[in-house]
Structure 1
Amino acid sequence: MPSTSRQIALIAFDDVQVLDVTGPAAVFGAANDAAMHRLGRPFYRMHILSPQGGHVTSNCGLAVVTASLASVKPGALDTVLVAGGSKQGLQALARDAAASAWLRRACARARRYGSVCTGAFALAACGLLDGKRVATHWEATAILGRKHPAIEVDANALYVEDGRVWTSAGVTTGIDMCLALVARDLGDAVANAIARRLVLYARRPGYQSQFSTVLAAQEKADSPFADLVDWIRTHLDDTLDVAGLAERAGMSPRTFHRRFTDALGETPARFVETLRLDHARTLLQTSLALKTVAAQTGYGTPAQLSKAFARRFGISPGLFRAMHRDAATP
C-alpha cells in the first residue's frame, strides 16, 4: 500500500444529485477504514466542496455540508470529481467564473480528475474534456455530444478512463468508478472488500452497458413476455429454443416469434444470445473453467461459446479474461 495520503475533492452545488456525492464518499471512506488496518491512518483525505461553501440542498431535499472551493489549494489535490445534478444547478456552476477558474487550475494540477453522471457538463463547459472519450447519464449523452462536439461521448459505458480523465454514467455508476479508482490505488483486494461491505451485487467494469438487457426488455414487453424474460434470465443453461419458449408463452412458434420480435425489437434467438453472452462476460471474470462458463450459459462446448463470443465482441473469451479477470467480483 502506498505510504503517502491523497486528497480528494468532491464538488457539489445546489440541486446536486445526492448519490453522486455520497456514493463516492462512501467508497473512499470505506477505503480509509481498510487503510487504518494496514497503515494505522486514513489513505484519503476527502473535501466536499461547493463554490461558496456552507449548506447546499440536493435535488431530493437533503442538505450537504460543504467547504468553499477557495478553502482548498488546487495544487494540493490528487483527485477532483464533479458530481451531477439538475440542469439549473450545473448551469449555475458553469456560470460561476471563480468556480470555473478554480476547476481549471485544480484539474490541470491533479493526478486525475473527472465527473459523476451529468457532472461532465461542468467539466465540458471549462474545456476540460475536449478530445476525450467520456461517459455521462444515458439521458444526457446526445445533448453533451451536441453541445460539445470536441468530446467523444460513449453512450453505453458505465465509466470511462481516458488518460487522467475518469467519467461515469448515471448515479450509482459513480460507485463503480470510484471502486476502480481505489483498486488502482490500493489494489483489487481492498476494492473487492469495499464492494462486499457495501453489499454490492458485483463490481461492475466500465465496459458494461448502462442499459440492462433484462430491464429494458421488461419495460418494452407486454406482461406475458415480461414474465418470460425473467424466466429466461434464470434458465440460461436450458435449451431455450423457439418451440419451447412459445409453449411456455402459450402461443404457436410462428405467432410467438412475430410477437416477441415486435415487442422487444429483436428475435428470440438474438435476445437469448445477448443474455447468455452478457452472463458469460461476468463469469469470465472469475476463476471458473471455460467449460463451466460454457455450460452455465447454455453453450454445449467451449468452442461454441468462443465462436459466439468472438462474433459479438470481437475478441476471444481467453483474451477477455486476461483483460478483465477479477475486475467485477466482490
Structure 2
Amino acid sequence: MNDTIVAISEVSKRYSGAAQPALAGVSLDIRRNEFFTLLGPSGCGKTTLLRLIAGFGMPDSGQISLDGKLLGQTPPNLRPINTVFQSYALFPHMSVAENIGFGLEMLGQPRDTVKSRVAEMLRLVRLDGMGERRPAQLSGGQQQRVALARALAPAPKVLLLDEPLSALDLKLRREMQIELKRLQTETGITFVFVTHDQEEALAMSDRLAVMRDGVVMQVGSPESLYDRPTNLFVAEFIGEANFWNATCLGRSGAGGRFAIGSGEAVMPVAEAQGLTEGAKAVLVVRPERITLGAAEPGLLHGTVETAVYRGSDLVVHAALAGGGELRARLPGSIAAAGLIGTATGFAFPADAVRVFPA
C-alpha cells in the first residue's frame, strides 16, 4: 500500500506582478496519518502551497495528487479536504452544534446522522454540554475547538491548518498544540499545518518541511532537522545555535581539525565532507551540547558576561578569547553568581559540530 496521501510534484506558482515566484518547483510527499508541517518565514510560500492543495488556486506548472488521483481542476468543495484558518470563521448567529453540523447538512446528510456526528465531535474536542452556546459565549481556545470540530465532522482525508493558533496567547497556544496532536492521533486524519513558529513545529510534527523563497530547503523529522541541518538556513531557523567562522587545518577520515576565529582554538570535527585543507567554513554547535571545562588546550576559552537562570536551564553568554561569542545552555543547578566575570573553558564533543562552507 502506498504510504503517500498527498503527492506534490514540481509545483510552481507566480503571482501577477511579483518579481519572484511564490513557489519554485516544489516536490513533497505527505504520508497517511501524519502530522506534517510547512515551516518558514513570512513570504516563503507555505500558505500558497496550502491553498493549492485546498483548491483555492491553481499551480502554473506541476501536479498535486490525492490518494493517487490528480486533483487538476477539481474544485475545493469536491476535494475530501477541509481547512481551518487563523480566523475561525464561525457563524455568530448559529449555536456551536449548528456550526459543527453545517458542513454535514450541506452534504445532504440525514438529520439523525448529523446529530450523532455533532455529539461525537463535541466529545472529541472536549466541549460536551456546550452545543447550544453561541460562539461569542466561548473563549478563544473553545472557538478554535469548534472550528476544528466543524472541519473534522465530514471525516476529510486531509485537514489543512493555516496558522490556526497565532491569535491565542502563549499558555493557550501551548495547550492547543497538545490538543491538535491528540486530535490528529485519535482521528487518524493527515494534518498539514502551516506556521512560522519553529518551536511550535518541533513540538507537534511527525515531519516538517522548511521553506525559503518558494523552495523546500529540507524535509525530515524534528530531530533530524534540529540535529542534522543540511544547510546554514535550516541551522539558523530551527532552534538556537552558535555560529563560528573557521578554517580547515587538515582532514582525517570523514572529519578534520578546524581553527576558530583568529586560530587560538583548534577543534576536532567528526564530519567535514567536501572541505579541504585551508577551506573557510562555518561551525555550528547547539548551546545544550556545550559544557564547562577547565582552562586547558583544546577548549574554547572565554569570559562569562551574563548568566540567566531559567529554572531547569542556565543560559550563559561568553566573549571568546579569540573573538566572537558563545552561548551555552547549562544545568540550572549551576550557580550563576559564581560564573559571571570568570574566565573559563567550554567543551563539546566532535559529533556536536555541523560544518558548512563559508
TM-score category (smaller protein): 0.3 to 0.5
TM normalised by structure 1 equals 0.34
TM normalised by structure 2 equals 0.32
Q: Which has the higher strand share?
A: 2
Q: Which has the higher helix share?
A: 1
The structure whose Rg is larger is: 2
Q: Which has the higher contact order (CA 8 A, sep 6+)?
A: 2
